[in-house]
Structure 1
Amino acid sequence: MLSSIGRAAIRRLVSTSATTAPRCIAVSRPITYGRGFIQGFATTGQPKAASTTTKATTKTSKPKATKTTKATKTTKGTTKATATKGKTKKATATKAKTKSKKKAAPKSKAKAKGKKGARKRKPMSPENKAILEKRALKKTALFREPKQLPDGAWTVFVAEHTKGETIGPERIRARMGDLSQSYKTISASEKQRLADIAAQNKLKNAAAYKAWVESHPPEQTVEANRARGVLKRKHNYPKGVLKLIHDERVPKKPVSAFSLFTKARWASGDFANRPFLDVSREIGREWARLPDVERHAYEDLGKASREDYEKEYEAVLHRKPAPRRSTTPSA
């Protein structure tokens, strides 16, 4: 039989809640309680199993949570990886941009240097300007005209007797002296033969020259003559008589009223056997004293000639001519 102290301890155990942890009780004597007591004690011990089942369920539910956490961790890892990749791409892009800017920087520096160098260039000297102007005018002047055949009996004779020879400047005078002596001794038939060849060469030269002129538009031949005049006036090139391009397509300049009056006065025969300068001065005085009725007649003729010239000039050269200059002498 248990003592009063042991019975009190057992009652305490039975009255405790099912959730409390089991305790081991050391009993010195064998228990002689009935079956009901043992069953009650067993029922009181059942919560221990329930607690174990709850623990098991919690343990079994934990792996699912771990899976989701792992999934979230993997997604976080992928997002972090993509973010890091994006950052690396941006970094490489920014590096490439900075490299391109660095590479482009020398060009901008070179441009800046070029601008500075252009600012620091010395002004061109008048001699260099004249050389460049002369070179440009030569290109515009069209000096490459077709080579002319000898168009005189003497020149044909010289060309035949010097064909294939190279005459230097030191021998040319002596050679021309010998040829002139032999030319004087040739027969009349030989001179006629040379004259016929010269006449044929003139026709060939005229045809070749016309074909060369017409190979250029009229605007170009007009500009070429202007360039030749500037070259002769400013640079004295070429030396000798100024030769202009004769283009029949370009309209001739109009005749002024004073020019018409001058031609009429020269044709009258009143100034025969008189010096040219004296006659031109006298005609100028007569023009200044000319009555208005006669002056208007010449002016009308000059105006009509000017109008025809402007129409033809614009049709051929596709531009208006320069304004006319007054050639009327002062009173």
Structure 2
Amino acid sequence: MLSSTGLAAARRVRVIGMRSVFSSIARISTRSAACPKVRASVRIAAVFNRGFAAAASRSATKTATATATRKTTTTTKKPAAKTTTAARQKKKASSTKKPTAKKAAPKKKTVPKKTGRLKKTVKEVPENVKLFRKVKELKAKALLNEQPRGLPARSWLVFVQKNGGVPKGQTATEFMSAMKKQFAALSSVEKQALQDEARANKVRNDAALINWITTYPVETIEAANLARSHLKRLGKTAKLSLPDPRRPKGLLSPYIIFTTQRMKSGDLDNIPPTARVAAIGSEWRALSETERQPFYEAAEKDKERYKVERASLSPSP
């Protein structure tokens, strides 16, 4: 049995041999005129043999070259495999090497994250709103609502209170106009009785007010008086300051002491009050420093009196 290569070579020999036979026949036919005649069978057999020999030699050379090329490819492939194994070993060696320590990157500065909340825009408060809040605060300090309501301290108010309120079916203006007419028609005796009752009510009101004031500390009453004076300047109240008997009298200046002495002397009684004050001021400016010295000493004594009275106040309840 031939191998696949042998079968392929035999096929080539057959084909090549047949081609050589036909070509030789053609050459013989061209030369037949000059050469002696030879039998056709002999000529065909000779040509066939030559072609077969040439084809056999050609196939042998081809097989020899094929085997040689195979051997060279196998020999050349072996070192390639060696190189691949060497490369693998190099890769393993490189993988087993210790990794070099990388330089630490510089730390970035931590920037605080911005929150999504927007800053609230502060709206400007209108002046009327500021005034309203200020008045409300001052009224709370002034103790206006806490102050007790007193009895009517005027004869007219006593007369209106006795006649009751506004009757049904009549307006306040109509009622007040009728009361004025009736009050004007009263006799002197009736009006005197109303006045006496009003004075008695005032005494009761003062006593009740003092009792109510003493329930608060002295500092609270002083703050209430300051708030009331502020409200008066703003035109928001007409109530008087609270008379606190526990509070010491204010400090006296040298000029006040001089003025009180001049008022008590009686030398300026025949002069009107406005002219009297102007005359006292001109006299004070005309005094020398030695003449003013006694008044300065009196003012220092009054300051000591104020300190003692202030320290002797009872503690806040």
Q: Does the 8 Å CA contact 1:252/1:309 hold for their aligned counterparts?
A: yes
> Any unmatched runs of 5+ in structure 2?
1-113
Q: Partner amino acid for 2:205? A: N
Q: Partner amino acid for 2:173? A: E
Please give the per-residue CA displacement for 1:165-187, whole angstroms capped at 9, x wherever unaligned: 4774432442232222342xx47
Please give the per-residue CA displacement for 1:57-78, whole angstroms capped at 9, x wherever unaligned: xxxxxxxxxxxxxxxxxxxxxx
Whether 1:210 aligns to 2:210 is yes
Please give the per-residue CA displacement for 1:268-322, whole angstroms capped at 9, x wherever unaligned: 233233233333232222212213333111111111101211332344398xxxx
1:100-119 alignment, distance < 5 Å: 113=117, 116-117=119-120
Match of 1:289? Answer: 286
Whether 1:129 aligns to 2:126 is no
Q: Percent identity?
A: 30
CA-atom RMSD, angstroms? 2.8
Aligned mates of 2:268, 2:119 — CA distance in 1: 71
User: Does the C-alpha gap of structure 1 residues 261 and 305 become closer, same or farther in structure 2, counting only changes over 3 Å?
Assistant: same
1:162 to 151, 164, 168: 164
Whether 1:225 aligns to 2:225 is yes
Match of 1:142? Answer: 143
1:48-197 alignment, distance < 5 Å: 113=117, 116-117=119-120, 120-144=121-145, 145-163=147-165, 165=167, 168-183=171-186, 186=187, 188=189, 190-191=190-191, 193-197=193-197
User: Does the C-alpha gap of structure 1 residues 310 and 163 become closer, same or farther in structure 2, counting only changes over 3 Å?
Assistant: same
Aligned mates of 1:252, 1:172 — CA distance in 2: 46
1:171 is paired with a residue whose SS is: helix
Match of 1:66? Answer: none
Aligned mates of 1:187, 1:289 — CA distance in 2: 53
Q: Partner amino acid for 2:257? A: L
> Any unmatched runs of 5+ in structure 1?
1-107, 319-331
What TM-score results when the alignment is normalised by the length of structure 1? 0.53
Shift of 1:253: 0.2
2:313 is paired with a residue whose SS is: helix
Q: Partner amino acid for 1:259? A: I
User: Does the C-alpha gap of structure 1 residues 307 and 165 become closer, same or farther in structure 2, counting only changes over 3 Å?
Assistant: farther
Aligned mates of 1:302, 1:151 — CA distance in 2: 39
Match of 1:246? Answer: 243
Q: Does the 8 Å CA contact 1:158/1:179 hold for their aligned counterparts?
A: no
Q: Does the 8 Å CA contact 1:251/1:313 hold for their aligned counterparts?
A: yes
User: Does the C-alpha gap of structure 1 residues 277 and 317 become closer, same or farther in structure 2, counting only changes over 3 Å?
Assistant: farther
User: Does the C-alpha gap of structure 1 residues 153 and 260 become closer, same or farther in structure 2, counting only changes over 3 Å?
Assistant: same
Aligned mates of 2:288, 2:119 — CA distance in 1: 69
Q: Partner amino acid for 1:217? A: P
What TM-score results when the alignment is normalised by the length of structure 2? 0.55
Aligned mates of 1:317, 1:230 — CA distance in 2: 27
* Poorly superposed stretches of 4+, deviation over 4 Å: 163-167, 190-193
